[in-house]
Each structure stands twice: as C-alpha cells, then as structure tokens.
C-alpha cells in the first residue's frame, strides 16, 4: 500500500522502537535485528517487482522503492526497515552517469581518469533537485510502514564513492583509485570534500523526509591500510557525523542515531568508536569480544554473522546466532549480518536467523 496521496508530515506513531533504543544504548527486552540488503534479489517478489525496470529507474520511483522496502517486513519480524536505494545515486547527483550492467554490476560510462576530470563534476549540488526522489521514497515509506518499525536512511562514505568513480565499477585491488591517493593527494582531498558536503546535505534531507536512523557505508575501507584510512577516510567520516548532527540541531530536526559500517577496517575500530556515531557496524571477520574490548561500553555494536552462515541448515543457524549473542551480550547490540544478503539465499533461512535472534536474546535476558 504505497500510495503517494498522504501528506508528508504527521507520521504514524512508532510501535516497535527496540532498534532505536538499542542504538541509543537503552535497555531492550530482546536484541533487535535487521539485515543489510534485506530488500533484495533473494526474494522472489523482489525479482518480480524489479523485472520490468532498469535498476536506477527503480531507484528513482518512490512507489517502487517503498514496495521493495516493505517486502521483507511482510515476511519477517525485522526490527527496522532500510530504504531501498543505492550508494551510487550520489555520484549521479554530481553529474556522473552510472548504468547497471547485467552480470557485471554498476558501471560508470566515463570514470574519472585525470585530475582535470574533477572540473566536470557539479561543484554545488542541490540535493532536493538531484536526489528528491529518495526523499519522496523515504516519506512515502515512513507513512506506509504505519509505525511498524523505524526506517533507516543511508549513504556511501566519501572514500567508497571516490573509489567507484575512479575505478568505474567494482575492482579487486582499487589500484586506480588508490594511485590517486598516492599521486594526487590534494586532488583526492578536493574530491572527498566535495563528496562529504553532498553526503551531509543528503543525510540531513533524509531525516527531514522521515528517516529515523542513518547508516554510512564505508564498504571499501578494507582496501586502505591504517595510514591511508587515517588520512583519506576517517577525517570525512568524523566530519559527516559532526556536521549532520549540528545541522539537524540548527534545523530543529530529530537527532537520529547514526551507524558507521567500515567493512574490513578492524585496524580502525578504536578510531571509529570515537568518530561521533552511536553505533559501529562490524563485518564477520572480527571476534565480538575483541571488538567490544577496542570499542568500549559507550557505543552500540551491530553485526556480524557471516552472511554465508545462512547457507547452513536452520538448526545450525540457530546455534551460530546463540553463540553470537553470547559473545556480544544482548544489550547495546543490534544483530545483523557482517555484510549483505546474497541473491541465491533461501528466504526461510533469513527467517530462521531473525527468529533465532529474538528467541535466544529473550531467553538470555530472562536468565
């Protein structure tokens, strides 16, 4: 029921705030759970909805984004929804063309090759003009959720977006993008600053549109070592949290919890714990106890079951979830996968994961 007729304000009252309470470090009866890429190709109804349309055309349709966001919630008792969109809408807003190539993934028709190419990018972006379709999708979905669970908005982080813009798509080494960091540090910072400024306005706009939490995806953090991360990723990650929060205050908008997910950045967990985010998301390659020791008790952790664990039989998924909950503890914790769901996963196994988190965390809390 995603009809565009309702007025943007006067959102329905939130019925399940477990995810928001955990994000803020308040006590919860059960551990909340959601999945990265929960609106995705592993659902037959998703494939059906998407079949007729180009991927980015789908992203530009508030009605379709709303429908795809709601699909997993009709099946599973998830504790949060995340708006269906893509991190590459930000480079599009800067004037770059991105197409989804079947079997290859997102591809930039003209990636950035030389420093001069930065001049082709829009230097001032009106996010409402360029990304208003995402804001409409968020407002529509927030109404259509009818207060069932909170709605998460998101963006890619500057380094991750920069790497796509230079590589022109996915890459195993990120050698082209990293060569900029070594050869053109000033130009790299110019590009990262431009991206950060757009991301800040984009995230504030998402909250104005109705997002109740925000996640920043630094998906390509693992391609950087500690020094490059310190120079080219962390300062912007910090600045985004700080500036988004001060702008939300200025505009009298809700101060929503923010999540940083920097994949494969174990080397930076201490820094990320102090980067201004309420929640630090973890991939599956780190032990929960080690992460907690580095991050301390004042930040909520999110993660980190290996997505491939969902290929295991359902009983085994239950055992893995129980072990994960015992390692993290049930409080100041949001259960998730350590990365997104894969297209060939069985929806019933996703359901088993979600139900195991609820059942085991309730049991642990009682005893």
Q: List the catalytic residues.
A: 37, 41, 50, 86, 164
Residue 282's nearest CA partner among 269, 293, 294 is: 269
Are the beta carbons of 156 and 217 closer than 8 angstroms? yes
Residue 298 CA from chain centroid, whole number: 21
3-state secondary structure at position 14: coil
3-state secondary structure at position 192: helix
In this structure, what DSSP letter does residue 108 have? Answer: E
Contacts of 319 (CB under 8 A, 6+ apart): none
> Rounded CA gap, 267 and 224, in Å?
10
> Rounded CA gap, 46 and 14, in Å?
26
CA dist list (Å): 141 to 135, 166, 217, 290 = 10, 33, 21, 37
In this structure, what DSSP letter does residue 125 have? Answer: -
């Amino acid at each position: 029921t995603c009809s565009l007729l309702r007025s943007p304000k006067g959102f329905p009252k939130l019925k399940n705030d477990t995810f928001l309470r955990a994000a803020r470090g308040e006590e919860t009866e059960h551990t909340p759970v959601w999945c990265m890429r929960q609106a995705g190709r592993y659902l037959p109804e998703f494939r059906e909805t998407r079949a007729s349309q180009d991927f980015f055309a789908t992203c530009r349709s508030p009605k379709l984004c709303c429908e795809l966001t709601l699909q997993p919630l009709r099946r599973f008792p998830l504790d949060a929804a995340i708006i269906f969109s893509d991190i590459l809408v930000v480079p599009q807003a800067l004037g770059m063309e991105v197409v989804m190539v079947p079997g290859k993934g997102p591809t930039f028709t003209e990636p950035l090759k030389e420093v001069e190419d930065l001049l082709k990018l829009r230097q001032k972006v009106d996010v409402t003009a360029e990304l208003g379709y995402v804001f409409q999708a968020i407002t529509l979905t927030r109404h259509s959720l009818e207060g069932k669970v909170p709605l998460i908005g998101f963006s890619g982080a500057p380094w991750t977006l920069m790497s796509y813009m230079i590589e022109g798509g996915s890459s195993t080494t990120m050698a082209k993008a990293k060569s900029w960091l070594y050869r053109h540090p000033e130009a790299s910072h110019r590009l990262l600053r431009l991206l950060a400024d757009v991301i800040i306005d984009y995230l504030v706009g998402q909250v104005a549109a109705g997002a109740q939490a925000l996640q920043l995806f630094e998906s390509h953090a693992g391609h950087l070592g500690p020094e490059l991360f310190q120079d080219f990723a962390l300062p912007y990650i910090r600045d985004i949290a700080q500036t988004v929060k001060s702008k939300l205050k200025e505009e009298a908008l809700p101060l929503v919890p923010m999540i940083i997910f920097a994949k494969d950045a174990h080397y930076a967990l201490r820094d990320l714990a102090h980067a201004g985010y309420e929640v630090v998301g973890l991939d599956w390659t780190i032990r929960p106890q080690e992460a907690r020791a580095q991050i301390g008790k004042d930040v909520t952790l999110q993660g980190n079951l290996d997505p491939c664990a969902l290929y295991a039989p359902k009983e085994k998924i239950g055992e893995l979830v129980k072990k994960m909950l015992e390692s993290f503890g049930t409080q100041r914790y949001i259960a998730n996968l350590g990365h997104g769901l894969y297209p060939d996963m069985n929806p019933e196994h996703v359901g088993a994961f979600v139900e195991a988190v609820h059942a085991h965390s309730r049991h642990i809390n009682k005893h």
